[in-house]
Each structure stands twice: as C-alpha cells, then as structure tokens.
Structure 1
Amino acid sequence: MTSFASIAAISLDLDDTLWPFGPAVIRAEQTLHEWLLAQAPRTSTLLTSPQVLGALRTKFEASRPDLSHNLRELRLGSIRMALEMSEEDPALAESAYDAFFAARQRVDFFEDAFPALEWLSARYPLVALSNGNASLKVTGGHHFFKAALNPESTGLAKPDAAIFRAAADAVGCRPEQMLHVGDDADLDIVGALAAGCHAAWLVRGDSVGGVDTAPAWTRGGSAPHLVVRDLYALCRAIDPACPVAKQMPAAAFA
C-alpha cells in the first residue's frame, strides 16, 4: 500500500467537486435570459425559455471546434447568434455576457468544502484545476490555493496530461508527487493517471458529478488510487484522526 508520504501537493477540480455545477449554470442562464428580454426585447420570440440559450451555445460550439477551450468566446458567440437571429444589436453581447458571468460565479459550496480545504491547505499546496471558467477570487475560497489553472489561462484542458503537469509545475513538484481530486471519471481520473499523477475519484452520494457509469478503468484502463464519497473522507484517508473527517470513511489508498 502506498502511503501519503509521497504526495507533495494536491490539485482539485471545482465544478461538482467543491460546489454543484448545475444550479450555478441554471441560475446564470436565467439571469442572461432576463437580461436579454429586458435589453433586447425582440429576442423574446426566439428565447422562449432559458434552456434555449444552452441549446444555442451547443449549436455554436459545434460550428466552432477551434474555440472548444474558450468558454468565454463560446458563450459570447451564442449570445451574438441569438441577437442576430432576433435582429437585435450584436454589440449588446459583451454586456449580456457580463451579466451571465457574474451570475455564474454565485455558487453554493458543498458543506464539506471549506473545512476540508482549510485542513488540506495547512498540509499541502493546493492547485485548482478546472475546465470551467469560475473565478475563485469571486466565488470565494481562493486563499486556500497556491495556483488556479483552466483552459483560458493555459490553453489546455483536462484530460490533456499537459495541464496536470502544469499544475505540478505551478507548485514545484513532479506529477508523481501530486494527487488530483475530481468527480469526472474520464476528465479527472483518466487524465491525471495519464500524466503520472495519483488520482482520487470523488463520487458524492447525491451523484451530482459527471460520474461515468462505465469508467475507463472498467474497460481495461488504470483505476484511481482512491475513491471517496466526500472531501471529509479524503481528509480521513490522509489522517484517520483528522478532526474534520466526520463522515464516510475512504477506500484504501493503493
């Protein structure tokens, strides 16, 4: 059994790891919908519900695969599309995006997030590693982290091994000295393992994350070193006497 003695740093996913992603996006698209109806009223014929905005973003993304890692430009492009289709001024897109982005940053942290981050950050340098565009300086919690990486800042996205290696570089350790924690079986776990990192798969009891019912390791890939139900369990795996680890026990760190 490998001990945590070899771990020098921890990277953590954000969406569905520290907070539920779905409610934040629903709230942001509702805010954007209301903004557009108020500031560009002719969009009301097209935007019959906030869900239409999500469908337009998906359509725009399919037409611009070159922007797949640029969430800002994908959202801006879909807003311009809605404005142009409604014969409204596409120059309104920037202000509309600002309203969306501000609402996107209003997240509700899981109850285990801050206690676990406080305990972990006292023992390891932490790196936020996300494919999303949430800003920890706005959401809160940035003081726990030494660095924050995402596709906008690096031009890379999970599961590319290069972004995990960049996370290790950011805190001065080797990939094999880093433990990555995330909810997505393919993006987080397969990506981290391919980069040579240790990996902890977070499978919350309410199944909020991108949990794959047939993860890659069931198809012949490498399995995560650790599976936890919450961040308290991660802390318990590191130290069974951890005072914040008050919920479910972790699996063995293999």
Structure 2
Amino acid sequence: MSNPFIQQNIRAISFDLDDTLWDNRPVLMAAEQIVFDWLTSNYSRIGETYDYESVHTMRHALAKARPDLRHDMTRLRKELLRQIADTTGYDDSLVEPAFEVFIEARHRITLFDDVLPTLENLRKRGYLLGALTNGNASIQRLGIDHLFDFSVTAEEAGAAKPDPRMFELACQRSGVSTREMVHVGDEPTTDIEGAQSAGITAIWMNRGGIEWQMDSPPDAEVRNMSELLDLAGAQHPPGIKSPGR
C-alpha cells in the first residue's frame, strides 16, 4: 500500500475512539454490569424480572427496532432504561441516575500505551487532530481533549459512521478539504468504507493483525500508533493555527 502522507498534502488526522485508542469491549461489558447491579440493588423488581444477559439482548433488539436511535447511544441507553422501568412497574425517575452510573463507568478506559506519545508527537509536527465517534465517549470527560483540535460525535452530526455527514462535519470543523485529511479507525465498514465514501483517505488500525475481508482495501494499514507515526513522519506540514485556539 502507498503512503498517503507522501502522495497528498495531509494536514489533519481524525481518529475513531473505541477500539482504536483503547480496548472498548471490556469497558462496555463492565459498565453494563455495574449499572445492572445498581438497578437490581435499588429496584428489586428489576432483578426479579431480568438478568444481565436478557438486558443485553433487549438493548440489541431496541437498536434494531429503532434505527432513529442508532446515531445517539445516549438516547438509546436511556430508552432502554425507560423500558426496563416500565415493564417492572417503576416510573422513569430511575433513568437519569442509572444512566449517570453507566456513563461514569463507561469512561473508565485505559488508553493503549502508544496513544499519548503518538498524539503528542503528531501535534508537534503540526497536524490537526480530531476525534470521530459513533459512541458516547467524551474526550472532555476523559481529560484528553487538549490533544485534539476538533471532534465530531454521531449525535452532533445527526448520523453515524459510515454516513459521510460525520466526515464532512469533521472537515468543516478542522478547516481542511477531504483530500487534506486522513481518518484512522479499526472498523472496516464504519471507519474505512465510511471515510472513503466521503472522499477521505482511510487508514486501517489493525491491532489484532487480522486479514482484510472486504472487497475494497484501505488506503493504508497500520498495526499500532508507532507505525502511523512512521507514515506521518514522511511529511512535515507547515504550522497551522488550530481551529478555535
């Protein structure tokens, strides 16, 4: 694969968050268990009606039945809590405190070891850095927003990756054209196909070293952030004033 940093005048790099900058599966599993335990401790009828697995299944069914919520994980989670309350004879006053329990646990992440030094290095080299997420992880709540110049959530865009609206909004907020941005993500459909459909160069973060299964390949592939840094090091863009800074 070619190096887009050499072939193009790349000025901005956007990153997926979950499973690109940290391992998200254990985080979500732990958060869902924590909120379930909180619910059953404070609302006994919930524990008599549901177990952890049935709530997990219920969430997936809700996402399938309500495509209007797929771009807003916060609304989806709150709707799930409302349904749980309704089916067990409680009112929806439990929704907000239960969601706060979940969202606090959802942010107990551990960045991959290579993330912070790479982001700091890229910023020093003059790249604009952004975060693009379909989920409800907040770079502000995580305390890493100082490393990013722009961010876009599916909720803000009104659509989730692979919808091009997320990538178009990222370009607007960074002040660069689609040809001047690369997107880095782990998910072949939402990240790679999504970025490419918007005219943005897509770099696949393949930390697991798995084989590419899709028809159209990514523009480049890296196994870790150090390899990304090696690609980006081939070009040193001129200093650019960060948006809003």
Q: 1:169 aligns with which of 156, 168, 172?
A: 172
List structure 1 runs of 4+ shifted beyond 3 angstroms. Answer: none
Q: CA deviation at 1:53?
A: 2.4
Q: Which residue of 2 aligns with 1:7?
A: 10
Q: 1:45 aligns with which of 28, 44, 48?
A: 48
Tell me the SS of whatever aligns to 1:148. strand
CA RMSD of aligned residues (A): 2.0
For the residues of structure 2 that align with 1:76 and 1:233, how far apart are their CA atoms?
39
Q: Which residue of 2 aligns with 1:237?
A: 231
- 1:158-207 Cα offsets, whole Å, 9 max, x none, are 11112112111111100111010000111111111111111110100376
Q: TM-score, normalised by structure 1?
A: 0.85
Query: 8 Å contact 1:11–1:129 — kept in the other structure?
Result: yes
Q: Which residue of 1 aligns with 2:99?
A: 97
For the residues of structure 2 that align with 1:116 and 1:214, how far apart are their CA atoms?
28
Tell me the SS of whatever aligns to 1:129. strand
For the residues of structure 2 that align with 1:148 and 1:105, how far apart are their CA atoms?
17
Q: 1:85 aligns with which of 84, 87, 97?
A: 87
Q: 1:227 aligns with which of 210, 221, 227?
A: 221
For the residues of structure 2 that align with 1:17 and 1:4, how far apart are their CA atoms?
24
User: Structure 2: which 5+ residue stretches go unaligned?
Assistant: 237-245
For the residues of structure 1 that align with 2:32 and 2:120, how far apart are their CA atoms?
31
Residue correspondences, number: 232
Q: CA deviation at 1:30?
A: 1.2
For the residues of structure 2 that align with 1:16 and 1:139, how far apart are their CA atoms?
15
Query: What is the letter of the counterpart of residue 24 of structure 1?
Result: V
Query: 8 Å contact 1:13–1:183 — kept in the other structure?
Result: yes
Q: Which residue of 1 aligns with 2:70?
A: 68
Q: CA deviation at 1:5?
A: 5.2
Tell me the SS of whatever aligns to 2:80. helix
For the residues of structure 2 that align with 1:46 and 1:20, how far apart are their CA atoms?
31
For the residues of structure 1 that align with 2:165 and 2:154, how far apart are their CA atoms?
11
Query: What is the letter of the counterpart of residue 86 of structure 1?
Result: T
| Aligned sequence identity (%) | 35
> 1:95–1:176: structure 2 CA closer, same or farther, 3 Å change rule?
same
Q: CA deviation at 1:32?
A: 0.5
> Pairwise mapping of residues 87-236 of structure 1 onto structure 2 (< 5 A)?
87-122=89-124, 123-205=126-208, 214-217=213-216, 223-236=217-230
User: Structure 1: which 5+ residue stretches go unaligned?
Assistant: 218-222, 243-254
Query: What is the letter of the counterpart of residue 55 of structure 1?
Result: T
Query: 8 Å contact 1:116–1:231 — kept in the other structure?
Result: yes
Q: Which residue of 2 aligns with 1:246?
A: none
> 1:161–1:145: structure 2 CA closer, same or farther, 3 Å change rule?
same
Q: CA deviation at 1:213?
A: 5.2
For the residues of structure 1 that align with 2:97 and 2:120, how far apart are their CA atoms?
36
Bigger shift: residues 87-96 or 164-173: 87-96
Which fold has the larger relative contact order, with Cα–Cα distance below 8 Å and residues 6 or more apart in sequence?
A: 2
- 1:29-64 Cα offsets, whole Å, 9 max, x none, are 011111101111110122323x33221111222232
Query: What is the letter of the counterpart of residue 178 of structure 2?
Result: P
For the residues of structure 2 that align with 1:111 and 1:69, how far apart are their CA atoms?
29
Tell me the SS of whatever aligns to 2:49. coil
